[in-house]
Amino acid sequence: MSEIKKFSQLYDTAEDRMAWDTEDADGETTRLWLTRRMCQGLAGAVVAMLQKKEHAAAEHESVLQAWEQVAAMAGFGNTAPVQPKPEMAVGLVTAVHLAPSAKGVSMTFDFGAGEHRSIGLTYAAIRQTLSVMHRLYVAAGWPTEVWPDWVADPEASAAVPADSVN
């Protein structure tokens, strides 16, 4: 199993799929294709995991999640994208396994004939990944009901209504 050190996400119009171009510590690259259905399931599972992690009162859940999302995006740097190599491995992702920890989430992508790629992301990095996925969803014209407001428009969701301030 190869450990991902860096990845880029993109939407391919011709394939109508999302691609995660990954790079490991040795500089080897892999393109992981995710269908709309796989992306929807992944996004839903990660959103649920983040909501479970934060034990806020229901009436404050959206605002708390939005604040966390805004903070994560404030730290989102401009890193050069992964440069795919002609000999890179390519495969359609058949499963994504998520394992939460105190500091973040480990993701393992199953593809091809027994191939796997894994990455460990901090909670801020997983929120950044969700934000990019959301932007690609919108660009693709895919249905966006899987996305809560705190991902789709975190700044608006982070605003505390005046009537809730004591």
Name which residue leads in pLDDT, 54 or 27: 27
- Count of domains observed in the chain: 1
Residue 57 has pLDDT above 80, yes or no: no
Residue 159 belongs to a domain: no
94: in domain: yes
Q: Is residue 137 part of a domain?
A: yes
Residue 98 lies in a domain: yes
pLDDT of 69: 55
Residue 16 domain-assigned (yes or no): yes
pLDDT in tens, 148-166: 887 887 666 555 554 554 4
Mean pLDDT over each residue of the chain, to the nearest integer: 83
Out of 30-34, 42-46, 112-116, pick the least confident.
Answer: 112-116
Question: pTM for the full model?
Answer: 0.78
Within the chain, where are the H helices? 36-53, 61-74, 123-140, 149-152, 154-158
134 located within any domain: yes
% pLDDT > 70, the chain: 76
Q: Which residues touch 164 (CB under 8 Å, ≥6 apart)?
A: none
Q: What is the pLDDT of residue 71?
A: 54
Report d(CA 71, CA 36) in Å as an integer.
27
**∠ CA 108-119-6, rounded to 5°:** 135
- Domain assignment present for residue 165? The answer is no
Structure confidence by residue, pLDDT tens digits, 113-124: 889 999 999 888
In angstroms, the Cα distances linking 76 to 13, 113, 125 are 25, 34, 8
Task: Examine residue 27 and state whether it is found in any structural domain, yes or no.
Answer: yes
pLDDT higher for 126 or 70?
A: 126
Domain residue limits at 94: 2-151
